Amino acid sequence: ENFFIDPLTGNSYTTDNQHFLGIESVWNHLNYYVNMQVCSSGCNEVKFDLEDLNLWEPVLFGSTSKKQLILAVQRRKENGPEAPQAALPRAFEMPRSWVGSISISDKDQLRRWPEGKKVTRFRKAKLEKFLPGVNADGLVTRLTSYRDLDCSEVAVVKEWYDKNKDHLEEREINELDGFISERFGQNKNTKIL
């Protein structure tokens, strides 16, 4: 069943709804189609068979409909494989983009952030993200919570590590209590001295 979706409200309407006076064009994932039918009596008599080239004219070249493929196969069967092919219709070419092509080096793409670090400030906290390999100890994320809005008194610092030599995964430093907790990952070669 065909229906319209109002882009402003998201409500759906039937194609014979009185709000619509006519249709100029439609599109789908394959192409953009121009309506070749007369819409003098609204959308009541509009047929939505996008495969019918008499009713809907495809704009973009290269995407062929199912009917066009079937007709081409039938013509080849009738005329034989060596028959001369009809000249292709002049295609509509999309204009070039006004934006130049973006070129990002592999190194910059891996780094993501300038200097391999991104800092985001919140009301009473600061979040720092580091790219793997930027810090020698494997630090990848640090969340610092503050006691005051000026962010001058540190309350708690949480740090997350990746590929740390001693398999440290997480560290929490509570500045208020003077308490430090560390969590280590499992290592098959762990040796206690």
Per-residue pLDDT tens digits for 47-87: 888 888 899 988 876 656 666 677 777 888 887 766 565 55
DSSP structure class, residue 52: -
pLDDT of amino acid 92? 60
Mark which of 92, 116, 149 sits at the end of a domain.
92
87 and 4 in a common domain = yes
Whether the pTM exceeds 0.85: the reply is no
Specify if 28 maps to a domain.
yes
65 and 128 in a common domain = no
DSSP structure class, residue 162: S
Strand order in the sheet with 32-35: 25-27, 32-35, 56-58
Specify if 189 maps to a domain.
no
118 and 86 in a common domain = no
Q: Smallest Cα–Cα separation from 30: which of 74, 61, 54, 68?
A: 61
Q: Smallest Cα–Cα separation from 141: which of 113, 170, 121, 165?
A: 170
Specify if 9 maps to a domain.
yes
Specify if 126 maps to a domain.
yes
178 and 113 in a common domain = yes
124 and 151 in a common domain = yes
Please name the residue ranges forming H helices in the chain.
66-79, 106-111
Mark which of 44, 69, 92 sits at the end of a domain.
92
pLDDT of amino acid 28? 80
Per-residue pLDDT tens digits for 85-128: 555 555 566 677 788 888 888 877 777 777 888 999 999 999 99
Report the domain count for the chain. 2
Q: Which domain holds residue 172?
A: 107-184
User: What tokens appear for 119 in the block?
Assistant: 């800092």
80 and 13 in a common domain = yes
88 and 1 in a common domain = yes
Mark which of 92, 115, 138 sits at the end of a domain.
92
Helix (H, G, I), strand (E, B), or coil: what is residue 94? coil
The rounded distance, in Å, linking the Cα atoms of 161 and 134 is: 12
133 and 166 in a common domain = yes
User: What tokens appear for 137 in the block?
Assistant: 């100890």
Per-residue pLDDT tens digits for 12-48: 888 888 878 888 888 887 788 899 999 888 888 888 8
88 and 114 in a common domain = no
Specify if 52 maps to a domain.
yes
Contact of 185 with 169, CB cutoff 8 Å: yes
pLDDT of amino acid 16? 80
The rounded distance, in Å, linking the Cα atoms of 140 and 116 is: 10
Q: Long-range contact list for 112-116, CB < 8 A, 24+ apart?
A: none
The rounded distance, in Å, linking the Cα atoms of 50 and 31 is: 10
Strand order in the sheet with 179-184: 117-121, 125-130, 139-146, 154-161, 168-174, 179-184
175 and 111 in a common domain = yes
